[in-house]
Amino acid sequence: MTEIIDGNEVAQDIRNGLLDSIETLTDAGTTPCLATVLMNDDPASETYVSMKHKDCEEVGIATRDIELDPDTPAEELFDTIDELNADPEVHGILVQMPLPDHVDEREVLRSIDPAKDVDGFHPENVGRLVAGNARYKPCTPHGVQKLLAAADVETEGAEAVVVGRSNIVGKPMANLLIQKDEGGNATTTVCHSRTDDLAEKTRAADIVIAAAGVPEMITGEMLSEGTVVIDVGINRVETDEGSELVGDVDYDSAKEKASAITPVPGGVGPMTRAMLLWNTVKAAGDVAGIEVDL
């Protein structure tokens, strides 16, 4: 029987687990607060941001919602970030990507106070993650770690294959898997578009984490019997009825081979959202000098 790893359920457990910490912090006068900055008019980004606000409200995290017109000069965005950096009531800052062409995304990531960088993309936080001393684990790979733990998947000594090497998913995922920590100690191969014979790599894996952004590219044929399959991909594809969301894994054929698999939607997506709340609570705890039980 293939285990279907339910991301909605695990994410709900994570949110429930944060409630006590949020109450402790709020009672001590530090209500965790996440500020979002949206500077594009892409409907998908608007939806992501509004979902993040809703998630925060549900668990008692305060929010600030800043929207800038896409034509706003870059300096104004940097001034906004400076103000949020200086605001003691704001603990986490998230600048929604993508940004307009006239704004340098790297410069924006560098301008966020690393202590408030709850996405974990500031170079200081990337460095800390690589050095095995993470302050904030990036939300999607952290969520994958939690899913693996919830499904009792042993990473130590396992052969893990990460398909994708982006800065937000593939690279931090691989870094977490190789750390000498719980949820790490895996022998990890990172694959990408120039990888020769991807199927050979995935067939040799105990755990496959697909984050390529290519609809249904990992098929059952590319997997060995008993592989754990985590599908990070979210791809909208056209169908006869309109459109639907699919992952990077061909779910039906992969499920025939996998010992455990995440669905899309309802797998990694909800975890990414839950881990943002986690990082925001951690940020508030660090400021308050209160070690919160996460």
119 part of the active site? yes
Of the pair 92, 269, the CB lying nearest ligand NDP is at: 269
Enter the tokens of residue 211.
């984050």
166 annotated as ligand-binding: yes
52 part of the active site? yes
243 annotated as ligand-binding: no
Of 55, 96, 117, 171, the catalytic one is: 96
Question: Does position 164 bind ligand NDP by CB under 6 A?
Answer: yes
Q: Which of 26, 185, 195, 259 binds ligand NDP (CB under 6 A)?
A: 195
The rounded distance, in Å, linking the Cα atoms of 195 and 192 is 5
Question: Does position 170 bind ligand NDP by CB under 6 A?
Answer: yes
Question: Does position 232 bind ligand NDP by CB under 6 A?
Answer: yes
Please provide the DSSP assignment of 153-171 as one string: ---TT-EEEEE---TTTHH
Q: State the number of binding residues for ligand NDP (CB under 6 A).
A: 26
Q: At what angle do helices 43-59 and 7-27 cross, to 10 degrees?
A: 60
Q: What is the number of alpha carbons within 13 Å of residue 284 lying toward its C-beta?
A: 30
Interaction residues for ligand NDP, span 104-133 (CB under 6 A): none
The rounded distance, in Å, linking the Cα atoms of 229 and 209 is 6
Please provide the DSSP assignment of 50-105 as one string: HHHHHHHHHHT-EEEEEE--TTS-HHHHHHHHHHHHH-TT--EEEEPSP--TTS-H
Of 55, 116, 117, 119, the catalytic one is: 119
Beta carbons of 129 and 172 less than 8 angstroms apart: yes
Beta strands in 142-241 (DSSP E): 159-163, 187-191, 207-210, 228-231, 235-239
193 annotated as ligand-binding: no
Question: Does position 92 bind ligand NDP by CB under 6 A?
Answer: no
Question: Does position 175 bind ligand NDP by CB under 6 A?
Answer: no
Using CB under 6 A, which of the segments 24-32, 40-48, 100-108, 186-194 binds ligand NDP?
Answer: 186-194
The rounded distance, in Å, linking the Cα atoms of 242 and 221 is 28
Q: Which of 32, 120, 220, 269 binds ligand NDP (CB under 6 A)?
A: 269
Using CB under 6 A, which of the segments 82-90, 113-121, 226-234, 274-282 binds ligand NDP?
Answer: 226-234
Site of interaction with ligand NDP (CB under 6 A): 140, 163-166, 168-170, 191-195, 198, 211-214, 217, 232-235, 268-269, 272
Q: Which residues are annotated as a binding site for NADP(+)?
A: 164-166, 234
Active site residues: 52, 96, 119
